[in-house]
A = this chain, B = another copy of it.
């Protein structure tokens, strides 16, 4: 290593441009920390002619991946191209060429993280991917370094900015899901095809990555149960307000008795929960550790420069490891064999909204039915409806197992005084509950 370390980029989109800009703008700080310069030599692009609004030496641009992957001057590959198969192939080639890799690619890391980590290790290379979860928030370091001595028991994350923006707008401005989605698209917070965000898949990828690191277990994307936000109605948000509850799309992971429950679901949070006031496009990850208790990491979950700071912090770590001669030491065998909780082992409170016959004794019948599944109520709201002889009932239960809750829901369908189960959501309080 001489007076500089050179980085090669795979991709020069929004995040890639941010990386180039940050390396230039923050060179003084990098040089101070590392005692050498960091520069970019070689960028894989699809189109050599495209104007990206940043100054790049055009001789560094190439459409041939080998020009970057086998450039002997390049030590570190930054993968910001997205997609899965091609990215995986290039990264494996990079490791084979003894180059370190920093990736922002959550799809790839969620699907192939363990394979890539193992390949890195085998080649004495570093593989970091802080930017793949919650953009600019240093949450992976928080878990692996900051809380390294603790037993992490629970993670709850607002790890998708698009859905948080939509839910915040619906909640604060009383606009519909469709209108809020359209606004998010106009502002660039949602993509033209928003499916992966609004249906929770993007959040699920991040939860798989978080769980692996937090619980030292080979969690796969398929282990994450997913439900999106596209069916959420303003009626439920308004009832939430009356009950002191705020709706968020929560990535939830609970590890106890050496078994894991991990899912992504729209969830009502008690207003006093630290995540409840995380608004707009912001992300936050709440981590509950046995010894440390409640912690939360908050910040921007996406964006060119925030994501680039996470990538560049990984680059700084790699360069320090290179200088100390200690690259390739991250890989840790999972400590626990994967075991997932069954529905009798998953506990939560629930919110249920029902349309029922507006007649005497209805609430008593419903309450009896829940009691038979050992579920008791914490809160009840009942309103007459405009339609004749119809009432709307909202209940919030005490803690119950998912099994009991499913059981009660099935029986509720059969009860003749119930017209319809309009909605039901998990409710999470603060840790004290």
Contacts and interface: CB of A to CB of B under 8 A. Distances in A.
Interface of A: 18, 22, 25-26, 29-30, 32-33, 130, 136-138, 141-142, 145-151, 216, 274, 277, 282, 289, 291-300, 303, 305-306, 308-310, 312-313, 315-317, 324-326, 329, 332, 335
Contact of A298 (B22, B33, B298): B298
Contact of A308 (B25, B32, B291, B310): B291
11 contacts: A30-B149, A136-B291, A138-B147, A149-B312, A149-B313, A149-B315, A289-B309, A291-B305, A291-B308, A292-B309, A296-B297
B145 A317 contact: yes
Contacts of A316: 148-149
A349 B315 CA distance: 39
Given A136-B289, A289-B309, A295-B298, 15 more contacts: A22-B291, A26-B151, A136-B291, A138-B141, A142-B146, A146-B313, A291-B309, A292-B305, A292-B306, A294-B299, A295-B297, A295-B299, A296-B297, A296-B298, A297-B298
A173 B215 CA distance: 40
Contacts of A312: 148-150
A185 to B, nearest CB: 22
A160 B329 CA distance: 37
Kindly name the residue among A289, A299, A317 whose own CB sees the greatest number of chain B CB atoms within 10 A.
Answer: A299
B149 A26 contact: yes
Contacts of A30: 149
A136 B32 CA distance: 29
Contacts of A306: 291-293
A29 B213 CA distance: 13
Contacts of A141: 138, 141-142, 145-146
Contacts of A274: 277, 298
B291 A33 contact: no
A413 to B, nearest CB: 39
A135 to B, nearest CB: 8
* Tally of this chain's copies: 2
Contacts of A29: 149, 151, 335
Given A32-B216, A150-B309, A296 B299 contact: yes
Nearest to A19: B149
A286 to B, nearest CB: 8
Contacts of A313: 145-150
Contacts of A26: 149-151, 291
Given A26-B150, A142-B138, A315-B149, A299 B309 contact: no
Contact of A277 (B277, B282, B293, B317): B277
A128 to B, nearest CB: 11
A33 B332 contact: yes
B324 A292 contact: no
Nearest to A137: B295
Nearest to A306: B292
A410 to B, nearest CB: 39
Contacts of A277: 274, 277
B145 A145 contact: yes
A313 to B, nearest CB: 5
Contacts of A315: 149
Nearest to A130: B146
A148 to B, nearest CB: 5
Contacts of A297: 142, 295-298
B300 A294 contact: yes
A149 B32 contact: no
A309 B33 contact: no
Closest A-B pairs by Cβ, 9 of them = A138-B146, A149-B312, A295-B299, A296-B298, A291-B305, A136-B292, A324-B326, A292-B309, A32-B335
A207 B29 CA distance: 21
